[in-house]
Amino acid sequence: MPGTKKVLIKTFGCQMNVYDSERMTESLANYGYTETTSPEDADLLILNTCHIREKAAEKVYSELGRIRQIKEQRRLRGRQTQVAVTGCVAQAEGAEIVARAPVVDLVVGPQSYHRLPELLYRAKSESRSLVETVFPEEDKFGHLPRRAAKHAASAFLTVQEGCDKFCTFCVVPYTRGMEFSRPVSAIVAEAQALADAGVAEITLLGQNVNGYHGEGEDGRSSSLAALIRRLAEISGIRRLRYTTSHPRDMSEDLLEVHATEPKLMPYLHLPFQAGSDRVLAAMNRKHTAADYVELVARIRQARPDIALSTDIIVGFPGETEDDFTATLALVEEIGFAQAYSFKYSPRPGTPAAKIDGQVPEEEKTERLHRLQRLLDSQQSRFNAACVGRIFPVLFDRSGRQDGQLVGRSPYLQPVHAFANSDMLGRILQVEILGAGPNSLSGVVQAA
Ligand code: SAH
Ligand code: SF4
Ligand code: F3S
């Protein structure tokens, strides 16, 4: 019966989790679930979790504490509540979650979401907690329902999952499994459905998206570059992006698409993690600082107006002050439009967690502050340099002020401008007049 039950999914972690949450919502809609934003009204509460750093993983348990009270209050009102934990903590901790938090009815790893409705039903009818964390042979995407028409200007589309790189600090190869690329035909069908629903921008997702090597429409293996060219043929799709890339997999043909495909936005997220070659080797990153500099030069040659963002870790075990200075130097040398930086967090089961010479917490905090001061100044400088330019802006939401819309520049900066709300979902030329640390403002140009 449609609309008889309510679900609330709380999403943590990366964009792939955001995508998975949307797909779970769609799959549950076929079983009568509609979305709610109020936990007290939810018959089903799902935490779609992240295991990347300790803080992210611990959030799950504080949430579950709150959920235990909600479930109890609902029980007193004669209402049943199911609680499911999905995502990377589910995969990494499995049955431990139920042991630590008996409020949980179901634990489902990221590869089994297509079985969610069936598993929820079984947990209820057998009145026991179920844990499902095997990596099944079948491909979950093939079993999820077609994309529902969701009115948004921009959408995520997962094309690749898992990672074989085994950076020594990272849990992703263990939580998401080995690399898997979806076939081109399935991706094209999904992109077409999104375009038909009015989506103008698609961000292709993968933990190591530029390692994409799915089956092409001709039966041969397709590169990410070929996939981008194919998707650019869909007329409703005006903009394409992809994330996250590993420096080792930035192939020549991908640089070529950056040079030649106007729908591919001139913005690239390319994590380098550390500036010291000794640390990079200990991280098993398979590239040096010089490799990264040389790669960025080639990318900029292909697409001179490209802007870069990155991920950086400070305080990897054994990182000295000199190693850290090399990270600052690399940031200075490249110049980033945006960046994410993190204190190293030892993760269970990863090789780096066992290395001697863990950096004290205060040291990590101090390095992170120094790094973030530099990154913030680069971002502010990049934003300030946009003043006076005219950017195509894809408007995707209403702003805080009356009559104001917010969109994205080619460089993913939020841009505020006054425009009629029927401009949502459209790309308009905007003259940039103001720049803040995290966003721009401007005026829409007459057509
Ligand atoms: N697949 C992507 C992103 C992986 S996770 C990539 O290869 O770049 C996103 C970011 O989290 C990583 O780039 C890294 O900077 C950070 N990260 C991963 N594991 C971490 C850990 N144990 N401690 C701190 N930061 C970590
Ligand atoms: Fe993790 Fe990215 Fe390294 Fe893969 S390439 S192990 S996802 S940091
Ligand atoms: Fe987190 Fe899993 Fe994404 S660990 S960053 S949710 S792949």
In the prediction, which pLDDT does 3 show? Answer: 63
Residue 224 shares a structural domain with residue 210: yes
In the prediction, which pLDDT does 430 show? Answer: 98
Residue pLDDT, tens place only, 90-101: 999 999 999 999
Residue 90 shares a structural domain with residue 218: no
- For position 67, which CATH number holds? 3.40.50.12160
Q: Is the CB of 50 under 6 A from ligand 3?
A: yes
The torsion angles phi and psi of 407, rounded to 5 degrees, stand at: -135, -170
The boundaries of the domain holding residue 157 are 140-384
Which ligand is nearest to the Cα of residue 158, counting in written order?
3
- For position 319, which CATH number holds? 3.80.30.20
Residue 187 shares a structural domain with residue 323: yes
Residue 77 shares a structural domain with residue 57: yes
Q: Which of 17, 171, 350 to mutate to test the pocket of ligand 3 (most atoms within 8 A of CB)?
A: 17
Residue 192 shares a structural domain with residue 105: no
Q: Which of 91, 133, 175 to mutate to test the pocket of ligand 3 (most atoms within 8 A of CB)?
A: 175
State mean pLDDT over 185-197: 95
Domain termination site, one of 338, 361, 384: 384
Residue 343 shares a structural domain with residue 402: no
Cα of 269 vs centre of ligand 3, distance in Å, is: 16
pLDDT at 25 over 60: yes
Count of domains forming the chain: 3
Residue 289 shares a structural domain with residue 168: yes
Residue 57 shares a structural domain with residue 124: yes
Residue pLDDT, tens place only, 244-255: 999 999 999 999
Ligand 1 atom, smallest distance to 346 CA: 22
Q: Ligand 2: residues whose CB is within 6 Å?
A: 163, 165-167, 170, 172-173, 207-208, 246
Closest alpha carbon to 394 in 357, 334, 444? 444
- Order of strands, sheet of 307-314, starting from the edge strand that comes earlier in the sequence: 267-269, 307-314, 338-343
Residue 23 shares a structural domain with residue 72: yes
Residue 78 shares a structural domain with residue 162: no
Cα of 87 vs centre of ligand 3, distance in Å, is: 7
Residue 362: band (very low, low, confident or very high) from pLDDT cuts 50, 70, 90: very high
Q: Is the CB of 88 under 6 A from ligand 3?
A: yes
- For position 426, which CATH number holds? 2.40.50
pTM (two decimals): 0.95
In the prediction, which pLDDT does 368 show? Answer: 98
Residue 359 shares a structural domain with residue 269: yes
Domain termination site, one of 105, 132, 159: 132
Domain termination site, one of 362, 384, 406: 384
pLDDT at 149 over 60: no
Mean pLDDT over the full length of the chain: 95
Tokens at residue 233, please? 């043929």
In the prediction, which pLDDT does 37 show? Answer: 95
Cβ(6)–Cβ(41) below 8 Å: yes
Residue 405 shares a structural domain with residue 373: no
State mean pLDDT over 422-427: 94
